[in-house]
Structure 1
Amino acid sequence: MRFKLIIVLLVFVPLMVSAQDKKSKADNLYYSYQYQQAITEYRSEMEKYPLTNHQLLNLADSYFNIGSFDNASELYLEVNKNDTIMSVNRFNKMLQSISKNSERDRIKTFLRSKADMLSPELLENAEFNYSLLEIPKESDNSVIENVAINSPQGDFSPAFYKNGLLFSSSRIQKSKKVYEPSGESYLDIYFGKLNANNELTDVEVFDKIPATKFHKSTPFYSDKLSTFFYILSNTEDDELRYDENGKNALAIGTLTDTGRFRFILKDLSTSFYYPYFDDRSERLYFAANFDDSYGGTDLYYVYTNNGQIMSAPINLGPRINSPGNEIAPFVFEGSLYFSSDVFYGLGGMDVYKSSIIGNDSYTIPVNLGEGINSISDDFGFIIKQNENKSFSGYFSSNRKGGKGGDDLYRFTLKNLPGLKTFSLGGKVVDLKKKNGVSGAQVRLLNDKGELLKEVSSVATGDFRIEIPWQKQVTIQALKDGYSIFSTSYSEEDMEEIQTISYTLGLARFEDFVLESEDKTILKLDKFYFDKGKAILNAQVEAELNKVVDAVSRFPQLRLKIETYTDSRGSDSYNKKLSQDRSNVIKDYLLKNGLSSNNIVEAIGYGEEMIKNNCTNGAYCLDFLHKQNERTLFVVVD
C-alpha cells in the first residue's frame, strides 16, 4: 500500500464535509482511502458533469496509489497544463508517474523547460543521480535477506537496541484497536533478540515503553541519554485528541530508563515522524510537514541540551528536501542516510546518502542503487560496523517476495554503501581586494584533462561542486579579465581538501600590467644584468619568475621581449648585447613553462630608444644611464 507508513497508518483525519466545500460520493471514497472505488465513481461522475481540477487531481492520486501510473501521469499533466493549483508534492508525483513509465528522457526535457521555476539544488540532484543510475553497478558482495520474524502485517522502522532490534508493526493485538483506514492494528513497538547466529528471535511487544490503545511507533534509543525517542498519537484521558479541523496528529515523546516520560514535540495540527537523536551533535532529527516544507514531509532537526529542546525546528534545506517526501533520518560516520520518494529514484521510497559538511551543509544525496533500493518503497535504513570491518544493518521494504505489507530486511556489505563522491566547497576571491568574485567558472577535470563538471560562483564568490570519485582531479577557476587558477590533486590530497573551505584566488589582469612608453607592459620591479654580461643573475631570475607566474595565470598571454642598453659603448656592441640578453630571457622562460605561443618576439634594441638626454658623448651620472637600461615585456595580445 503506497506510503502506508506516512499517509495511511500514521495520521487519521476524520472525513469532514462543510457547507462551503460539499464533497461528492467519489470525493468521500477518495478521502476514505478507497482508491479503486473512488476511480470508478469519478469516472461515473465525469459522464454527468465535468470534474473540477481538484477532483481531477484526486482521481490522478487514486490512480497513482493503485499503481496505474500511465493514467495518473496523463491527468497530472492535464491539470498542470491548464491550471496552477498543483502542489509541489503532486508535481513530484507527476514526474514519478512519468518515470514509472520509463520515460526518463521525457522528464529531463520537462525539467529543462522548467529550469527557471525549479531550485538549482533539485536540478543538480536530479542530473547527478540520473547519471549515477546509468553507471553499471559493480558487484559488492552484498547480502540482503528477508528477516524470518516478519508478519503478514506491516513491519518497519528498525532500530538498534542492546542485544537486539526494536521495530514497529501493525500486528493484530487484543489490547489494540483496529485502525480503520488500514484494516490492521494501531501501530506498536516490538523487540526481537539476536541469537548466536545473528538471527532475530523471541519477538514480543516491547514492554519498557508504556502501552497505548493508539499509535506508538518508530522508536530510537540514545545510549548517551539512556532515553527512548518515539512517536505516539495525541491523546487525552486515553482518547484521541483532535484539532479544530478534526485532525489527530502524531507527537514525539521520550522515555528515560528511569521511567520518566514527556512530550518534546507536540502540535495537534502537525504530525512528527521518525525521531533520530545524534549523540555526537546532540541534534534531534525528525520528519514533519510544516509550512516551510519543500514538498510533502521534510527532514528537520532541533538543537538539544541533554535531550531538552533548545531551538526551533531547522529545515535541512533544498539539498536534502525535495518536492517529494523525506523520512527516516539516520547519521553514520559523518553521512546522513534518509529515504525519499523524489521522482529521480528507482521506485517509490529510495534510500539516499549525503555527507554532512560543517554544521549545515550537505553533499548531493546519492541513491544507494539496486539492492538496498528497488522499484518499491525502501526506507528506515540503519547501519553499523562489525568487528571484522564489514557493515551490516536493516531497512524496510514492500518489495515483491515479502511476507507482509512492509517487511524488515537485513543486509551485510563489505564496504559502505553508495557511490563515493568528491565534493568541494569554498570561495573564489580577488587576490588583491580579498572580496568574493561572482560569476567565476569553477571546473573539475580528470587526469586526462577532460572536463567533468562546471559551476559558477554566486554573488559572494561561494561555490560548491561535486562529482563521482576520481583518482586525480584538477581544480580550475576562471573569469574574463581575471587570471586562471589551476591546481591538481591526488586521491590522498582530495580526501583532505574536501573537508575544508577551499579558496581559489584570482587576480585581475589590470593588477599585472601598466602603461609605459605608450605600451602595455607587465608590472615588474626594475632589474639589471651584470655590466657587459648576458648571464642571468638572482635578481633577474626573481623577476622572470614573476613573468612565469603571470603567464600561468593568463595562459593566453602573448608577449614581446624588448631589451635596451644605455649609450655607453659602441652601437653595434650594445645591439648585440641587448639581443643576447633577450635570447637568454626567452630561453629561461621557455624552460620554465612558457610556450612559443606566449613569446611573439625577443628583440634587442641596444641604444636605439634612449629615454633621456644621455646619448652618445653626453656626460650623465650613472643613475641617469641606468634609466635607459631596461627590459620590457610588452603585452601583444
Structure 2
Amino acid sequence: MVPIKKIGSVIFMFFLGMVFCVAQTKKSKGDLFFFQYEYQKAVSAYEVQLANGTLTPQQFLNLADSYFQTNNFEKASEAYLELYKKDTLMDGHHYNKMLQSFSKTTDKERKTAFLATMSTDFPKELMENMDFNNQLLQNASANSGSDYELFNLDGNSPQTDFAPAFYKDKLLFSSGRQQNKKLKYDPGNEGYFNLYESTLQTNGQIAVIQPFGQVANTGFHKSTPFYSNKLNSVFYVLSNTQNGEMTFDDNGKNALSIGMQRIGGAFQLLLKDLSTSFYYPFFDDASGKLYFAADFEDGYGGTDIYFVYTTNGQIMSAPINLGPRINSPGNEIAPYIFEDSFYFASDVFYGLGGMDIYKANIEKDGFGIPINLGNGINTEYDDFGFVIRNEGEGLLGYFASNRPGGKGKDDLYGFKVNEKPGLKTITFKGRVIKPYGRGESIDKAVVRLIDNTGGILRETYSDENGNYRLEIPWTDSVVLESTADRYSTFKKQFSEEELEELQNSDGYNVELALYDDLVEEKEGQMVVKMDKFYFANSSTQLTPEIDVQLDKVVTFMNAFPDAQLRIETYTDSRGGSSTNFKLTQERSDTIKKYLVSKGVPATSILYTIGYGEDKILNNCTNGVFCIETLHKQNQRSLIVILNDNVLFD
C-alpha cells in the first residue's frame, strides 16, 4: 500500500503525516512535489518525465494518484486502468480510487465492467455492503429518512475546521486557524492543527472559541479529540516529537501518535510508531475499547479502523482490525458509538461522494451492514467526523464537510433531528441446522427473505458452519424461507412484533430435515424410518410406545408435505387367515386416524392395507413351530413412500 490517501479535502495531508525527502536516493522533481503533497506541481513534473520516457511504474502510479488528488478523474481513471492492465503495483486501495474515478466521470460503464471482473477477488462482505447500499440509495432516492435541521457553525474559520467532540457542556474541535504566523504548515498553507473549545448555545451554535488549555501546548499538530466522561480524559492525535522537535523514521516521515490527557492530571502516550500514523481516537466507556484508524500493512485498503483493549485507558492488547464488514479498499476513519450504533466515515467507491458517513448496527458477534446515511448528512463531497447525543426531546450532532457554501476548506456543521439518523433495518442471522441429534450444521442451504407478494428481498447461502446472515430495510412483515438439496423446506412469516423481538435476540436458527436421515429401505421399498413396535395380542389400540414411533411419521410429513403414503400392516401366522386380514386392516386404519389427528392430510395417505399373514418373512408359516421372537419378526407396520423416486425431481 502506498502512504498517500485522500481523506477529506485538506485533512489528508495532516492525517498521513509529513514526509520529508531525504538524500538516501535521488528523487525526481515529480517525486519531491508528490511527497510534499504539491500534487498539481507533481502532475506537471511527472508529465514531462512521461513525455521523455523516463517515468518508472511507481512514478506512473504516483502520477495517477496526483491526478486523483487534483480531481482530474478522467486522467486518473485512464492511468489506473493502464496500470491495472499491466498488473503492476495496483492494490485494493488503488482499485478503490480507480472505481471512484469511474464514478466521477461519464464512463460509469467501466466501473460496472471492472466490478464484474474483480468481484470474486473482493471480500464477500464488501460486495454485500455495496449491493445493500445501492439498493437502499436507489429505493430511497438517496434520502436518509430523517428530517434534519442542518446549520453551518458561526465559529468556522477560513481555514480547516473539523473533528467535533462533546466535552461536558462544550464542544471541542480541530482547526488550522493560525494563532502564530511563524508556525505554519506549508502543504496546507495554514497553521498547524490545534485543539479548540467553545461553549454550546441552545440553538446548537458555538461561541467563545479559544484554544483548549487542558492539553500541553506544542508547536506542531494536535487534533481529532475525544473526551471520555468515565476517565475524565481527552484522547487526541499529535505529531511525534522528542525534546520539542519532530522525530522522523528512516524514510524521513513524521507520523502521528495518540495520547491521553487526564483533565487536571498527567499526559500519557498510548500509541506511537515512527512509520505509522494513528488517527481519530474514540474511547468506548462501556467496553473499555479504544478505537482508532491506522494504515497497517495487514489492512484491507487505505486506513482501516482498529481497536485495542484497555484497562482505564492503559493498552492491554495488540490492535485488532474490525474486519471486512467495516473496512474496505478505501479509507475508513472517525469511529463513534451511540446507542448500539457504530458510525464512521469511508470513501469506499459505492458512496455518494468522497467521504460519506455510515452507520452499522452493533451485534453480539460483530457488525451489521454499514448503511450510508444518505442525503442530508452526506453529499458528493467529503463528510466525516460524525458525533451525536441526546439533547432535550431530540438529538444534537455535528460533523465536518467541504461541501460548497462553507466558510473555509472544511467546515463544522451541526444538526438537530428527532430520531437516530440512518434507515432502520431488519437483521436475520443464525445457523441452519438439523432439528434432531446434536443439531448438525448444514452448509450451502439457501436462505431468503420474501415480501408479501412473493418477491425475494434478499438471499444468501449458509457457510461451512451453517451460519447465515440477511439484512433488509425495515418492513412490518416478512417471510423467512430456507431449503437445501434433499432437505425439507422451512417457511415462517414474521409479524411486526416478532421482528422487533428478533432484533433484540442472539439470532434465529433455521431447522431443516435431511430426507435420507428420515427414511430407509425395507422389503424392497422406501419407508419412513421408525423403531419396530407391536400391538397387543388381537388388539388395535395404540399405546404410548406406538404413538412415539408414529410421531416420527408426523415429523416426516411436516418436513416433506408432498410425500404420498401407503400404510401397510402385517401379522404372524397364528390365528385364522381371515381374522388376521381383518385385524391388520383395522390396525392400518387406526394408524391413519392417529396421523390425521396430528395434522397429516388425509389426502396424503393414499392407501391403508392390512396384509394379514400373507407376507411372512421367515419359516414361521402355518403349522411350523416357532419361538415368540421369530413370530414377532412378522408383526410389523410400514409407512411406505409411494412417490420416493419423483419427490425431488
TM-score, length of structure 1 as denominator length: 0.90
One-letter identity of the residue aligned with 2:46: Y
- Secondary structure (helix, strand or coil) at the match of 2:18 reads coil
CA drift at 1:328: 0.3
**Are 1:56 and 2:60 matched, yes or no?**
yes
- Measured in 1, the distance between the counterparts of 2:458 and 2:540 equals 47
Cross-structure match for 1:128: 132
Residue of 211, 215, 240 corresponding to 1:209: 215
- 1:133-185 deviations in Å (ceiling 9; x for gaps): 11123753222221222111111100011112111111121276110001011
The structure 2 residue matched to 1:368, chosen from 351, 357, 373, is: 373
Q: Distance in 1 between matches of 2:419 and 2:405?
A: 26
Instruction: Note if 1:489 corresponds to 2:502.
Output: no
Contact 1:351 1:373 in 2 (8 A): yes
Aligned pairs, number: 634
8 Å CA contact retained: 1:17, 1:23:
no
- Higher relative contact order, chain-length normalized (CA < 8 Å, sep 6+): 2
SS in 2 for 1:122: helix
In 2, Cα distance between the equivalents of 1:138 and 1:123?
Answer: 21
Q: Which amino acid aligns with 1:387?
A: G
Q: Does 1:16 align with 2:21?
A: yes
Identify the residue that residue 3 of structure 2 maps to in structure 1: none
Give yes or no for the alignment of 1:89 onto 2:93: yes
The aligned counterpart of 1:171 is 177
Aligned residue in 1 for 2:566 = 560
Q: Write the distance in 2 (CA, Å) between the matches of 1:472 and 1:113.
A: 36
For 1:177-216, list aligned pairs within 5 A.
177-216=183-222
Which residue, out of 100, 117, 121, partners 1:117? 121
Render the CA deviation track for 1:252-291: whole Å, top value 9, x for unaligned: 1111122311211111111111111100001111111112
Residue 424 of structure 1: how far off its partner (Å): 3.4
Alignment check: 8 A CA contact 1:10 1:215 kept: no
Which whole-Å CA distance do the structure 1 matches of 2:421 and 2:296 have between them? 31
The TM-score with structure 2 as length reference comes to 0.89
- Mapped partners of 2:564, 2:181: distance in 1: 86
Matches of 1:495 and 1:463, distance apart in 2: 19
Task: Using the TM superposition, give the Cα deviation of residue 122 of structure 1 relative to its aligned residue in structure 2, in angstroms.
Answer: 1.5
Question: Is 1:439 the counterpart of 2:440 in the alignment?
Answer: no
2:20 touches 2:253 (CA, 8 Å); kept in 1? no
Q: Which moved more, 1:28-37 or 1:375-384?
A: 28-37
| Equivalent residue number for residue 334 of structure 2 | 328
Map of 2:50 onto structure 1: 46
- The 3-state SS of whatever aligns with 1:224 is coil
Give 1:387's aligned residue.
392
CA distance in 2, matches of 1:18, 1:599: 89
Per the alignment, in what secondary structure is the counterpart of residue 55 of structure 1?
A: helix
SS in 1 for 2:139: coil
Amino acid at match of 2:521: E
1:309 alignment partner, one of 315, 318, 339: 315
Moved more, 99-108 or 361-370: 99-108
The structural deviation recorded for 1:393 is: 0.7
Instruction: State the secondary structure of the residue aligned to 2:188.
Output: coil
Query: Which deviates further from its counterpart, 231-240 or 136-145?
Result: 136-145
* Aligned-pair CA distance for 1:5: 5.3
1:555-598 CA distance string (max 9 Å, x none): 45443322345567776665566556545655664675555885
CA contact (8 A) 1:227 1:254 kept: yes
Letter in structure 2 aligned against 1:479: A
Q: Aligned in 2, Cα 1:67/1:583: closer, same or farther, shift over 3 Å?
A: farther
Residue aligning to 2:41: 37
* Alpha-carbon separation, structure 2, partners of 1:525 and 1:12: 73
Distance, in Å, in 2 between the alignment partners of 1:566 and 1:422 is 59
Shift of the 110–594 alpha-carbon distance from structure 1 to 2, 3 Å rule, reads: farther
Cα 1:2–1:272 shift into 2, 3 Å: closer
SS in 2 for 1:97: helix
Q: Is the 8 A contact 2:441 2:465 kept in 1?
A: yes
After superposing the two structures, state which structure 1 stretch, 445-454 or 282-291, moved more: 445-454
Shift of 1:43: 3.2
Partner of residue 76, structure 1:
80
Q: Is the 8 A contact 1:485 1:505 kept in 2?
A: yes
* Residues 1:335 and 1:532: Cα distance change in structure 2 (over 3 Å): same
Give the one of 422, 441, 460 matched to 1:418.
Answer: 422
Tell me if the contact between 1:92 and 1:324 (Cα under 8 Å) persists in the aligned partners.
yes
Corresponding residue for residue 521 of structure 1 = 527
> Which residue of 1 is the match for residue 158 of structure 2?
152
Q: Name which of 249, 257, 260 aligns with 2:255.
A: 249
- Sequence identity, in percent? 49
Structure 2: how far apart are the matches of 1:84 and 1:143?
A: 48
Once structures 1 and 2 are overlaid, which stretch shifts more, 588-597 or 123-132? 588-597
Question: Does the 8 Å contact 1:176/1:213 carry over to 2?
Answer: no
Going from structure 1 to structure 2, the CA distance change for 1:138 and 1:16 (only over 3 Å counts) comes to: closer
The C-alpha deviation readout for 1:328-349, integer Å capped at 9, x for no partner, is 0001111211001111111111
- Residue 647 of structure 2 is matched in structure 1 by none
What RMSD over aligned residues (CA atoms) do the two structures have, in Å?
3.1
Name the SS for the 2:147 alignment partner: coil
Letter in 2 for 1:147: L
Amino acid at match of 2:225: P
Q: Deviations over 1:277-314 (max 9, x none)?
A: 10000111111111211111111111111111111111
Number of the residue aligned with 1:511: 517
- Determine the C-alpha separation between the residues in 2 that align with 1:70 and 1:584: 80
Larger deviation, residues 23-32 vs 323-332: 23-32
**In the aligned structure 2, how far is the partner of 1:40 from the partner of 1:442?**
54
Amino acid at match of 2:552: K
What 5-or-longer segments of structure 1 have no aligned partner?
A: none
Residue 318 (structure 1) aligned with residue 327 (structure 2): no
Preserved CA contact (<8 Å) 2:17 2:277: no
Alignment check: 8 A CA contact 1:394 1:409 kept = yes
